[in-house]
Amino acid sequence: MAYTLDFWKAATERAIKTAAQTAAAVIGIYITGITGDAPAGVHNVEWTSVASAALLATILSLLTSLGSGAKTGSPSIGDLESLPGHAYIKIHPVIDQAAVVEQLQQAQQEAGER
């Protein structure tokens, strides 16, 4: 797997979003006073805790993207993200629509007979 510039852009964007979400969650915990360590309020936020949690979340996000990239070529674990400039071909089973409609009509008739 070649980690392309597009891969790193997507992984970095995901890591930044994760850091922001984590920081917001930790700040929210301090503001609401859930920690119980100090009265609720912005002035009681322990900024080193916010920074530490955000940094750890960023590192974990990047490691997850690296692990996913080794398997799928995309920073998305499920390979649900297609990167610009890359063509992904997904194989889907062919569905016989007429057969599905027939089965649905038959099921409706059987349900109506009960």
Is this structure's pTM higher than 0.75?
no
Per-residue pLDDT tens digits of the chain, which is 114 residues long: 557 888 888 889 999 999 999 999 999 888 887 767 667 777 788 899 999 999 999 999 999 888 877 666 666 655 555 555 554 444 445 566 677 677 777 877 777 766
Cα–Cα distance between 108 and 46 in angstroms, integer? 61
Q: What residues does each domain of the chain span? A: 5-86
Cα–Cα distance between 75 and 82 in angstroms, integer? 9
